[in-house]
Amino acid sequence: MPTEGGRIALTGTVLLEAYARRGGLIENATVYVRAGAKRYYARTPEYLARFFKGLELVEPGIVSTPLWRPEPTRVGRPQPVDAFAGVGVKL
């Protein structure tokens, strides 16, 4: 956590749900939960923003995790994934 206080949040989203359905990920997750695993709730970036009320979001805000202050790489630019992150600090 930032020394001045704040919050860091990360979540998977449902933005790529159509892709997940085509790839069988939804069915796999259902089997996983039915087998007794702890339930996981995917949320939208807008829902994730609720965790930052009363805080100032650090740039670049709530974005796909590989795009949160990406470092240059030799293999190209980071590509978005279906997980989002943000960092907020006390005002």
pTM higher than the cut 0.75: no
Tell me whether residue 1 is in a domain. Answer: no
Query: Three-state DSSP class for 83?
Result: strand
pLDDT tens for each residue of 19-56:
555 556 667 667 777 888 776 677 788 888 888 888 89
Structural contact between residues 89 and 1, judged by C-beta atoms closer than 8 angstroms: no
Structural domain harbouring 68: 6-15+43-90
Give the pairing type, strands 63-64 and 55-57.
unpaired
Highest mean pLDDT: which of 11-20, 24-33, 70-79? 70-79
Query: 55 lies in a domain?
Result: yes
Q: Please state, in angstroms and as integers, the Cα–Cα distance from residue 83 to each residue in 28, 33, 74, 91, following that order.
A: 18, 19, 23, 26
Is 80 within the bounds of a domain?
yes
Q: Judge whether 20 lies within some domain.
A: no
The pair of structure tokens assigned to 10 is 């990360």
The answer to whether the CB of 9 falls within 8 A of the CB of 51 is: yes
pLDDT of residue 59: 93
- Assigned domain for 51 exists: yes
d(CA 80, CA 15): 11
